[in-house]
Amino acid sequence: YLPWIASPSIHYHVGVDGLSLWLVVLTGLLAPVGVLASWNAIQKRSKVFYSLFLVQQTAMLGVFVSLDLMLYYGFWELSLVPMAILIAMYGRTPGEMGGAKAALRFFLFTFIPSAPLLVALLWLYARTGSFEFTALQAAVASGEIPAGPLFWLSLAFLLAFAVKVPVLGLHGWLADTFSEAPVAMAMVVAGKLGL
């Protein structure tokens, strides 16, 4: 728990609980398996591949251990960038119709629905003065946040998560991503953040 930005009040606050522990373990297992799966497959620009893969794994770990929701949002969005770059650079189909198109589609489909999530986080901050998960939990439990706005906040969170899972009807990006992504990225997409 370290103060990071004074205004708005954002802290570098991380921790592990019973649920996130297993997601951290899953991420920790996916990383070496992804490296092994890519060992012979990635022949060109391998340093770039493994560097971006490491950044993506770090962002995933950050998502699972963040206890400040703005820090969580930062890690959440950071995880998209290396994935999109890796899909574009190492897509299986060369040319404009290949990896670059799938990467752009993946990025837009998963980035745009995060806007309502950001609006919900900012509304929570305006109401409570905190991005801290525990403070927001207490505010919801005490009734400081009325049921009506809480419904809309939950809907914004659900939309962002449903696109990344992906839920039926919000999975338009998935087929292209799986067909174009390198094996390591397909593993990450399959065992991933939305859930």
pLDDT digits (tens, 9 = 90+) for 82-113: 888 888 887 776 555 667 777 777 777 778 88
pLDDT confidence of residue 152: 92
- pTM of the predicted model as reported, rounded to 2 decimal places: 0.82
Contact of 4 with 162, CB cutoff 8 Å: no
Q: State the CB neighbour count (10 A cutoff) for residue 108.
A: 13
In the chain, the percentage of residues whose pLDDT exceeds 90 is 12
pLDDT confidence of residue 122: 92
Structure token pair of residue 77? 């969005």
Q: Is the pLDDT of residue 119 over 90?
A: yes
pLDDT confidence of residue 120: 92
Distance CA(72)–CA(149), nearest Å, equals: 21
Nearest C-alpha neighbor of 84 from the set 47, 118, 55, 45 = 55
Q: Is the pLDDT of residue 137 over 60?
A: yes
pLDDT confidence of residue 46: 80
In the chain, the percentage of residues whose pLDDT exceeds 70 is 85
Distance CA(15)–CA(70), nearest Å, equals: 15
pLDDT confidence of residue 62: 92
Contact of 183 with 41, CB cutoff 8 Å: yes
pLDDT confidence of residue 170: 62
Q: How far is CA 15 from CA 3, 20, 124, 133, 141, in A?
A: 15, 9, 21, 11, 21
Region 153-177: what's the mean pLDDT? 76
DSSP, collapsed to helix, strand or coil, labels residue 112 as: coil
The label of the residue with tokens 């954002």 reads 10
Q: How many CA atoms lie within 13 A of 152 on its CB side?
A: 11
Q: Pick the range with the lowest mean pLDDT from 25-39, 53-67, 100-114, 119-133.
A: 100-114
Q: Pick the range with the lowest mean pLDDT from 119-123, 142-146, 167-171.
A: 167-171
Distance CA(157)–CA(138), nearest Å, equals: 18
pLDDT confidence of residue 118: 92
